[in-house]
Chains A and B, each alone.
Chain A
Amino acid sequence: MRSFTRLVQFASLAFLISSCGSLSASSIITTSHLQTGTSGVVPLGGPSSFLPVANFSFSGQSSTNRVNWLSVTLTLSDGDTGVGDADYNHINLSLDGVNTGLIANGFDHGSVLTRTFSGMVASPLGVLLTSKLADGHAVLGLQTSVLSVIDKGTGGNYVSALKKCKVNGSPVFTPIFASLSFSQVPEPATLVTLSALGLGFLARRRRDRLHAKKLNSISN
């Protein structure tokens, strides 16, 4: 019976340590992938309605902990989201169709530019993103919040997630990668559970010690 208790204690301790590992671990997961080369009109946002920029893979790196921070780097041609451009403040970045809340401004009209966007992710969205990232894959996409006239195909809101580049007479192509970074933290409920487990574990140990002391004093 005593050895069984020890076994349970050991298992609990191991679980606690591993949990603490993921707790401290707001470690940042970073991955990059060649862009898709897809071009077209950015569609209205929806679960399966986005212009794909890159298909990331990070199998084995993500956990079930909540995503609380996100950073994305991508290259677009003619995004029309510079200040004063037609789609300024209209284009969102999505992961697997979920709007991340990151607004892809700064891709000036008529330009090929690389930009990085990052920000903290609030809890409800973080939970949703966590569920999307759980399979170790995520498609970075572009969605528009306003389908203006220029987005309906009159030669305006063309955008391309270029996959390679050869300029100024360069004989070689430079591949264009997009990158995704995110960090995860345990949910508050998880923290409470872990804390309770730790406290319970310590209390049990203290009680055992007191009990042993008592027995010793009686036997003496």
Chain B
Amino acid sequence: MDRSLFSLLTSLCLVFSSVGTCSADLIGTVLQSGQSGTLDNPVIPEIATFNLTGAPLQTITSFDITFTVDDGDSDVGDADHNNLVLYLNGVNTGVLLNGFGDGSTEELTFSSIVSPTLSAQLNATLGTNTLVATIVDLTPNSSVDSFTTTGTNYVSFPFNHSGSPTSASITIQGITAVPEPSSIVLSFLALSSFGGARMLNRRRRKKLS
């Protein structure tokens, strides 16, 4: 192989490998679904469906989610304390949704660090930047969750509270692959010098011939 051609290929490889990473966010805020029901339904009610904005993330590192629940029964001493888990696009995030009291409406925020495995699972579902947040009950068949009893584990995700809109919001933090400015300059210099060297070689050959 021609030496100059080899150099050119090498420099191109260098250019393409000279990309860095930077932190970025995917953000979504939307009115809550207004859905309600028991969490052991065949169809589990949605908290909200987010349409995320932001560049695709190479790796998800953490997220914060804020939403409002009526009668979650997950406060200390309530029937579903430590039983409710947040799912995003059907993926179990492992985040326990404690703190939603019996017979109350509460807005809470949950923050979580995301493991590489969970990051990969979530990223695989984020093709269209649509994110559906749901709650899954880890003890769906307990007596408190059954339809046969009254006044039980119903939850609601209202979109209106006394005339004010009730929104849910999520921020997904992560890193995205972008070329670094210094790398770009270095790569440009490398390319220019290789091109110059090749041009000099050609001239020299021409002269010799």
B160 touches A77 (CB 8 A): no
From A87-95, A108-116, A125-133, give the one contacting chain B: A108-116
With a 10 A CB-CB cut-off, give which of A41, A77, A114 has the most chain B CB atoms: A77
A40 to B157, CA, bound (A): 15
Given contacts A39-B71, A158-B37, contact A110 B101 (CB under 8 A): no
Contacting residues, chain B, for A166 (C-beta < 8 A):
104-107
A170 to B104, CA, bound (A): 13
A116 to B32, CA, bound (A): 26
From A1-9, A13-21, A30-38, give the one contacting chain B: A30-38
Name the residue of chain B whose CB is nearest to the CB of A36.
B103
Given contacts A158-B156, A164-B101, contact A113 B107 (CB under 8 A): no
A112 to B70, CA, bound (A): 9
From A149-157, A179-187, A204-212, give the one contacting chain B: A149-157
B151 touches A38 (CB 8 A): yes
Among B70, B107, B161, B164, the residue within 8 A (CB) of A160 is: B70
Among A40, A110, A112, the residue within 8 A (CB) of B150 is: A40
A112 touches B105 (CB 8 A): yes
Q: Within residues 146 to 199 of chain B, which ones have a CB less than 8 A from any CB in chain A?
A: 147, 150-152, 154-164, 166
Given contacts A37-B103, A78-B156, A169-B107, contact A112 B162 (CB under 8 A): yes
Name the residue of chain B whose CB is nearest to the CB of A153.
B147
A78 touches B151 (CB 8 A): no
Contacting residues, chain A, for B152 (C-beta < 8 A):
39-40
B53 to chain A, nearest CB (A): 23
Contacting residues, chain A, for B105 (C-beta < 8 A):
77, 112, 162, 164-167
A6 to chain B, nearest CB (A): 61
A110 to B70, CA, bound (A): 10
Is A51 engaged at the interface, CB distance under 8 Å to the other chain?
A: yes
Is A66 engaged at the interface, CB distance under 8 Å to the other chain?
A: no
Is A43 engaged at the interface, CB distance under 8 Å to the other chain?
A: yes
Q: List 29 A-B contacts (CB under 8 A).
A: A39-B151, A39-B152, A40-B150, A77-B156, A108-B160, A110-B33, A110-B159, A111-B159, A111-B161, A112-B158, A112-B160, A153-B147, A155-B38, A155-B45, A158-B37, A158-B38, A158-B154, A160-B70, A160-B156, A162-B105, A163-B103, A164-B103, A165-B104, A165-B161, A166-B105, A167-B68, A167-B107, A167-B161, A170-B107
Known: A51-B150, A158-B154, A165-B161. 20 other contacts (CB 8 A): A77-B156, A78-B34, A78-B156, A110-B157, A110-B160, A111-B160, A111-B161, A112-B70, A155-B35, A155-B41, A156-B37, A164-B103, A165-B106, A166-B104, A166-B107, A167-B105, A167-B107, A167-B166, A169-B107, A173-B104
